Amino acid sequence: AGIATQAVVERRLLEEEKKSRHDLGREGLVKRIWEWKEQYEQRILGQLRQLGCSCDWRRLRFTLDDQCARAVRETFFRLFQDGKIYRGKRLVNWDTFLQTAVSDDEVFKEPVKGHFWHFKYPVIDPRPGEPTHVTIATTRPETMLGDTAVAVHPDPAAALDGAVEALSRKRREAPAKEHGVIDVQIEAISGRRQTILPQLIQLRDMAHRGVKLRLPLTDREIPLIADEWAKPELGSGAVKITPAHDENDYAVGQRHPAIGAINIMNPDGTLNDGVPTKYRGLKMHTSARAAVIADMEAAGLFNPETDREDREIELPHSDRSKTPIEPYLADQWFVKMGALQHGQPKGMAIPKGYAKLSESPDGNMLVETPGLAQSAMDAVSDGRVRIVPERYGKTYLDWLGEKRDWPVGRQLWWGHRIPVWTRTFQNKTEREIVWKDALEVARQERNDEGNGCELYHEWNPDTIAGIAFVCINEGYPDLEAKAESLGFVREPEVLDTWFSSALWPHSTLGWPDETPELKAFYPTSTLVTSRDIITLWVARMVLAGLYNMGEVPFREVYIHPKILDGYGETMSKSKGNGVDPLDVIDKFGADALRFGLAYMATETQDVRMPVEFECPHCASVIPQTKKNRTLPQIECEKCGKAFGTQWAQSHGSEDDKRLPRGAVVSERFELGRRFCNKLWNASRFSLMNLEGHKTATGGRGEATKTATTGRGFMLEDRWILSRLATTTGQVTEALEAFRFADAARLLYAFAWNDFCDYYVEMTKARFAIPEQRPAAQRVLAQVLDALLRLLHPIVPFLTEEVWQLLARVAPNRGLAPTAIKASESVCIAAWPVADAAAIDAEIEAQFADFQAVLGAVRELRMGQNIPPREAVEFCVRCNEATAELLRPMQPYFLQMAKATPTGWGPRVTPPEVAASSSISGGRGGIEIYLDVSRFIDVGAETARLAKVLEQLRGFAKSMEAKLGNESFVSRAPAEVVQQQRDKLAETHGQITSMEAALAKLK
RNA sequence: GGGCGAUUAGCUCAGUUGGUUAGAGCGCUACCCUUACAAGGUAGAUGUCGCAGGUUCGAGUCCUGCAUCGCCCACCA
């Protein structure tokens, strides 16, 4: 509902119907915007649904619907009553053609040929030896009529030195060919120490003395002031200050409030009553400029021969009307962010949160209300609202700490119209009439609660000209009618979008009514948002929530990373580098998109995502570059046909828009797609093999005792259950801490590397053995069940589908002794709880030994180039305990490495012709000997062993060096030293056996 | 101008309180269509952890400076 919305609709209106908003009128335009909004709302909601966002769609709200509008008006009214809303002045970008303020976003700068004009301003009563004139330079001569000061630098010598230093620095970094140009600049500035510095120092001293100048063409005297904005290295070193018509001058005015500001422009760009009569009505940069120049020349203060330079000027233009922008001091509504002081009558209780500042002898008090900004700062400082990652708390606090008042009015038609009616008066008599009428409006209020109407007026103490305000709350149409009948006019402006957005957490729940929803859901738990609106939205929600509800709107704020394009730049429509999620969903699926995003959502970093265009004709992909992303059409390198781009949809011609559009895709989502595919296949396998699944009858001990009979739980069962329990705990922890990437990575590793690569693989052998089948089925169903639940928040569609299928073959889940009927849908299934009893470090270590032996066998096979289909034999030398554990794993070696173990234990005899490997683990090392008598490639094995030995020796050497270092041994913690010693001993053992194997080969 | 972040394999990124010779995915190489999955499996190659100092027995990790890139803010939504 922002400024962009109106701008888009206006642009389309102009393009398609050649109409401006004035042709339609306020109501007509707002109606059009509503239509546009309905259309895009459907599109956005469609995107959310396709993404699988699990929202309570019955509670859909829009910040401009009636319920939110009521909350907005109530809030504005309360703030107005509290004196927290006031009218002030603010410098805006004024479009004199459209007669509206435009945002900075809608301003573009264009170089225009212009001039630098040097004017002389006479000094009033200079002392002997002091200059009689000050020369100023300007590109906008007509603004001199609004000058309120002339500034010189407070320390011109230092400023000159600084400028020289900055240039020297630039010279050092610049390529040699630019040195000449920079040298000239340095020389020019250095030269100024002799030429104008003495005079600048003189002027500075005059400024400190309070010397005034006569502003030519007017009867005004303006002060000479010292301010750092005046750059001694530029122009004459003195600069005219026009606070009402220049941004930088406005800032100077803020630093020197005494100089004031004079607005010399009417909204249509003509000069107003603030200038001498003869200039009134002239156009700022045309007729007024010519008149000022002519008169300055006539006054002898400007010589067109010598005082005019040609110069290229970066002139700001309005993006909408393409006419030059005038900085303009406009009336503006503000919300007070700082503390406010009130008088408080004697005897009245001081409201909570107010501070008593003083008390007069008669007992009346001066109290201070806490400022809105401070209240929101406190909520974060004391932890009522926690921002994650923590560092963003600084952004929030720094911004609020400035306590800058919030300008809430916008020169738009689309939004919540400010509920204030005004009427101006010119003198004391009129003021009395107007105020009497205002009171008349207030009297219309039928109840006495005073929550329907609030009055206020302000005037210039000299002229008694001013304005009266009547603020009317929602639900008092009779007051509105009365106000209008008495000549009060409603403010045309609407409120800043963020004003209504700030109320979101409570306005959507029915506030100001005390609805059951409000009671149930406020404060909410977590806000998830982007860091660029921490100040604009998050801070405002907190302060609005505290103000209206007396309670923070949410407990936690999670700031997510941003997806950037391949160049690390923010995506935007104008850059043409955006990605439509629907493109990604089409090609990769919503689950892959979600998993990919979760996987990328790390805490510290934004995500760089290079994208490609997919040719709609031949499906070949073309990398997106800065060049081709803003072309109206792209020619496919492969098939030669042209296709359209997303950018062309808003910037291209009608022909361009009709071209088939190339989808924007990114291989970053391949990971998610592969993962989902893997999961789907693993699920299919499980479902195929769960026929006859029964929940356990084996009793409580089953899960914690390893069976040797083959009927109960085997090592791998206990291992996968242990891994599942560990993973469940870690994933839960990661999600609770908003570490989504960790959660995704943990689940990826568990599902792929543990579940698919090992557990599922091992069940194949067991399903072939009838007595082993039930236990394997139980564990398989159990692990799949838990995995689906763990993955569901990230991969909702696939998990739900599998869940439904799983319910058919295994309606009841769980291990002994309790089996539970599965929930109807995985999205309402309970979150898995990590079964602490299942976590078994011993089992995991033993299983790691199995994996290491299996890996060694596979590696030896590869080293000898043994064809995968060939069966081989091997034996393992290890201690008896390890042998005991590994022996039952025999079938898996056959299945997973096509290798049959022939012996286990400390006394095995290696085969005559062997390829061997020594691995750590199994408490004392494990040696694997692969019988390669039929395949022996002595050269390959020798080379492999030599390489392994080289690595081991290098490793041993570095450890020996470390242990030989006296200070390491004496200063490092004992366990670290011991760890090194143990490792070294083990490495020496490995070296010995590898050396023996190598010797045997020769 | 102010604030924040990043810099690790060809690419995109992990790397928890400092402690074995730094990891993943993609890409690359070799072999394999093994009955869930070739969108797969097994094995392999690939790094002056941006640069320069410092603290420490020990630094990708902590400190300082520099460089490069990016984001936010600068009375804009």
Q: Which of A278, A277, A246, A251 is nearest to A263 (CA)?
A: A246
A263-292 mean pLDDT: 86
A4 touches strand B (CB under 7 A): yes
Measure A393 CA to B54 C1' (Å): 31
Q: What is the mean pLDDT of residues A533-552?
A: 92
Most confident of A15-19, A364-368, A797-801: A797-801
Binning pLDDT at 50, 70 and 90, where does residue A704 land?
low
Q: Which of residues 498-537 of A touch strand B (CB under 7 A)?
A: 498, 531-532, 535-536
Cβ contact A978 with chain B strand, < 7 A: no
Which residue has the least CA–C1' distance to nucleotide B11? Answer: A610
Give mean pLDDT, residues A437-453. 80
A750-777 tens-digit pLDDT: 999 999 999 999 999 889 888 888 889 9
* Protein chain A, residues 337-376, with a C-beta closer than 7 Å to any atom of nucleic acid strand B: none
A963 sits in which H/E element: helix A938-964
Give mean pLDDT, residues A944-949. 87
- Is A729 within 7 A of strand B by CB distance? no
The pLDDT of residue A352: 67
Which two three-digit tokens encode residue A264?
Answer: 């010399």
Residue A391 CB closer than 7 angstroms to strand B? yes
- Asked if A262 and A148 count as a contact pair (C-beta separation under 8 A), the reply is yes
Q: Which nucleotide is nearest to A984 if distance is taken from CA to C1'?
A: B20
Q: From residue A888, give the alpha-carbon distance in Å to each of A752, A855, A883, A898.
A: 24, 17, 9, 16
Whether A895 CB is under 7 Å from strand B: no
Strands A238-241 and A149-152: antiparallel
Highest mean pLDDT among A147-151, A401-405, A486-490: A486-490
Confidence at A700, pLDDT banded by 50, 70, 90: very low
Nucleotide nearest to A604 (CA to C1'): B5
A466 touches strand B (CB under 7 A): no
How large is the average pLDDT for residues A391-403? 85
Give me the CA A173–C1' B24 separation in Å, rounded: 40
Distance, CA of A73 to C1' of B34, in Å: 71
Q: Say yes or no: Cβ of A681 under 7 A from any atom of strand B.
A: yes
Query: A420, A490 in Cβ contact below 8 A?
Result: yes
Quick: pLDDT tens for A287-311: 888 899 999 899 888 888 888 878 7
The predicted pLDDT at position A747 comes to: 95
Indicate whether A471 pLDDT > 80. yes
pLDDT higher than 70, residue A338: yes
Segments of A561-648 assigned E as strands: 563-565, 607-609, 612-614, 621-623, 633-635, 642-644
- Which residues does A280 contact at the CB level (< 8 Å), separation at least 6? A270, A271, A272, A273
pLDDT at A841 (0 to 100):
86
Closest-lying nucleotide for A106 based on CA to C1': B76
Residue A836 CA and nucleotide B34 C1' are separated, in Å, by: 37
The two structure tokens encoding residue A278: 């003869």
Return the closest-CA partner of residue A835 out of A818, A848, A849, A810.
A818
Residues in CB range of A274: below 8 A, 6 or more apart: A145, A146, A262, A263, A264
Q: What is the pTM of this model?
A: 0.83
**Residue A421's pLDDT is what?**
96
Give whichever of A68-77, A135-144, A445-454, A865-874 has the largest mean pLDDT. Answer: A68-77
Please, what is the average pLDDT of chain A? 85
Q: Which of A105-109, A132-136, A476-480 has the lowest mean pLDDT?
A: A105-109
Residue A644 and residue A660 in contact, taking contact as beta carbons nearer than 8 Å:
yes
pLDDT digit string, tens, across residues A52-93:
998 999 999 998 999 999 999 999 999 998 888 988 877 777
Q: What is the mean pLDDT of residues A652-669?
A: 83
> Straight-line distance from CA A954 to C1' B45, in Å?
20
Report the percent of chain A where pLDDT is more than 90.
29
Q: Measured from the CB, is A764 under 7 Å from any atom of strand B? A: yes
Alpha-carbon span A876 to A892, nearest angstrom: 15
Residue lying closest to nucleotide B41, CA to C1': A757
pLDDT for A702 equals 55
Other beta carbons within 10 Å of A702: 20
Spatial separation of the C-alpha atoms in residues A534 and A539, rounded to whole Å: 6
CA A969 – C1' B58 distance (Å)? 11
pLDDT at A817 over 80: no
Sign of CA dihedral A288, A291, A294, A296: negative
pLDDT for the residue A857: 93
Helix H, strand E, coil C: the string for A710-779 is CCCCCHHHHHHHHHHHHHHHHHHHHHHCCCHHHHHHHHHHHHHHHHHHHHHHHHHHHHCCCCCHHHHHHH
Which residue has its C-alpha nearest to nucleotide B73's C1'?
A399
Does the structure show a pLDDT above 80 at A174?
A: no
Query: Long-range contact list for A289-295, CB < 8 A, 24+ apart?
Result: A289/A140, A289/A141, A289/A142, A291/A142, A292/A141, A292/A142, A292/A144, A292/A145, A292/A217, A293/A117, A293/A141, A295/A216, A295/A217
A569 touches strand B (CB under 7 A): yes
- Specify which residue's alpha carbon is closest to the C1' of nucleotide B58: A968
For residue A437, pLDDT over 50 is answered with: yes
Which nucleotide's C1' atom has the smallest distance to the CA of A392? B4
Per-residue pLDDT tens over the stretch A705-752: 555 555 678 889 999 999 999 999 999 999 998 889 999 999 999 999
Q: Among A508, A546, A500, which residue's Cα sits nearest to residue A377?
A: A546
| CA dihedral of residues A937, A939, A940, A946 (deg, nearest 10) | 140
CA distance A257 to A243: 10
Judge if the beta carbon of A667 is closer than 7 A to nucleic acid strand B.
yes
The residue that minimises its CA distance to C1' of B37 is: A681
Q: In what order do the strands lie in the sheet with A621-623?
A: A621-623, A612-614, A663-665
| Identity of the residue numbered A989 | G
- Please tell me the predicted confidence (pLDDT) of residue A685: 96
Residue A805 — φ and ψ, nearest 5°? -70, -40
Spatial neighbors of A868 by CB under 8 A, at least 6 apart, are: A861, A898
Sheet containing A365-369: order of strands = A340-344, A365-369, A355-359
Strand B atom within 7 Å of A862 CB? yes
Provide the positions of strand B that have an atom within 7 A of a protein CB.
3-7, 11-15, 19-21, 25-26, 31-32, 34, 36-37, 39-44, 56-58, 68-73, 75-77
- pLDDT classification of A247: cutoffs 50, 70, 90: confident
The region of weakest confidence among A235-249, A463-477, A959-973 is: A235-249
Protein CA A725 to sugar C1' B61 (Å): 30
What pLDDT shows up at residue A80? Answer: 92
B2 C1' closest Cα residue: A398
Whether A969 sits with its Cβ under 7 A from any strand B atom: the answer reads no
Q: Name the least confident of A313-317, A464-468, A595-599, A667-671.
A: A313-317
Q: Is the CB atom of residue A670 positioned under 7 angstroms from any atom of strand B?
A: yes
- The pLDDT assigned to A417 comes to 93
- Asked if the Cβ of residue A685 lies within 7 A of any atom of strand B, the reply is yes
Tell if A250 CB is < 7 Å from nucleic strand B: yes
Q: Rounded CA gap, A959 and A969, in Å?
A: 12
Please answer whether residues A356 and A364 qualify as being in contact, where contact means their C-beta atoms are separated by less than 8 angstroms. Answer: no
